[in-house]
Amino acid sequence: MATIVGAVTTSHVPSIGGAIAKNKQQDPYWKPFFDGFPPVHDWLAKVKPDVAVVFYNDHGLNFFLDKQPTFAVGAAPQYTNSDEGWGIPTLPPFPGNQALSWHIIESLIDQEFDPMTCQEMLVDHAFTLPMKLLWPDVATWPVPTVPICINTVQHPLPKATRCYKLGAAVARAIESWDTDQRVLIIGTGGLSHQLDGERAGFLNKAFDLKFMDSLIDDPEWATQFSIHELVEQTGTQGVELLMWLAARAALPGKVRRVHSNYHIPVSNTAGGLMVMESVQ
Ligand code: DHB
Ligand code: FE
């Protein structure tokens, strides 16, 4: 059966793409954020994933307010990045793994989740920039992907408990995939940030750090909060931490923290990064 090698969870701010395009990784502003990634590169070289399942949230590129799935799973041969208005260069298309996509979709529906299935899917900065951060120097993407999109754009959003259960269901799907493939889980979003309204610029370091610790010691801790409580604690867009929760739930059993980094601010956002792997 397939093996889940671990998870990388990271923030996904558009201006990271601008910083990469302008080679600003060593600038004093960006260095504390980018310095988090070399240990991730070393870990990836060690665990050698064959394919990545990516929990991310679309921001209006592939799904707009007229049609907004709560959960969507990509089943496309490739995923194209297109200009979403932030002025960042687009990245080359990301190959899919349709066998794993359909296996996950069939398993999720069997487990009474009902995701939208997408045989065409554009991917935005939330998907593309974490891929670039994980594999900064490659000419072609080293692993095919299965994008799993969770709505954080238009309320009602899925509850934290539901996202946790989705992640656990994805883990069961992967563990029943009859191959010897090594599967990496990626979760992108958060941590605390609010881009608009009276609280624009809101960050909550204490909550973010508690949340990061909870993923190791008490992974269901965040499921006690309603969506509105999460918005209150983390900001309107801070609810993107649901991706971290789903990614953690996609790791079987207890986990250990391989690496983490936290730096504020990155643009308007608390830049978080974590690598976790299951302990045998
Ligand atoms: C920012 C953060 C995000 O998560 C996002 O999707 C867009 C912008 C920001 O901090 O600028
Ligand atoms: Fe975002």
Q: Best mutation site among 55, 153, 195, 202 for ligand 1, i.e. most ligand atoms within 8 A of its Cβ?
A: 195
Residue nearest to atom 1 of ligand 1 (CA): 13
C-alpha closest to that of 277 among 245, 244, 243, 253: 253
Phi-psi region of 4 (alpha: psi -120 to 50; beta: other; left: phi over 0): beta
Beta strand extents in 151-254 (DSSP E only):
182-188
**Burial letters 43-54, b for 16+ CB under 10 A, else e:** bbeeeebbbbbb
Active site residue ranges = 125, 193
Q: How many residues are listed for the chain in this entry?
A: 280
CA distance 224 to 164: 11
How many whole angstroms from 59 Cα to the centroid of ligand 1? 10
268 lines ligand 1 (CB under 6 A): yes
How many whole angstroms from 36 Cα to the centroid of ligand 1? 18
75 pLDDT more than 90: yes
| Residue pLDDT, tens place only, 212-243 | 999 999 999 999 999 999 999 999 999 999 99
45 pLDDT more than 80: yes
At residue 256 the predicted structure's pLDDT band, cuts being 50, 70 and 90, is: very high
| Residue pLDDT, tens place only, 138-194 | 999 999 999 999 999 999 999 999 999 999 999 999 999 999 999 999 999 999 999
pTM of the model: 0.98
Beta strand extents in the chain (DSSP E only):
3-10, 51-56, 71-74, 78-81, 94-95, 116-118, 122-123, 145-150, 182-188, 255-266, 269-278
Domains and CATH numbers, the chain: 3-278 (3.40.830.10)
Question: Which neighbouring-strand residues pair with 148?
Answer: 55, 73
Question: What is the percent of the chain where pLDDT is above 90?
Answer: 100
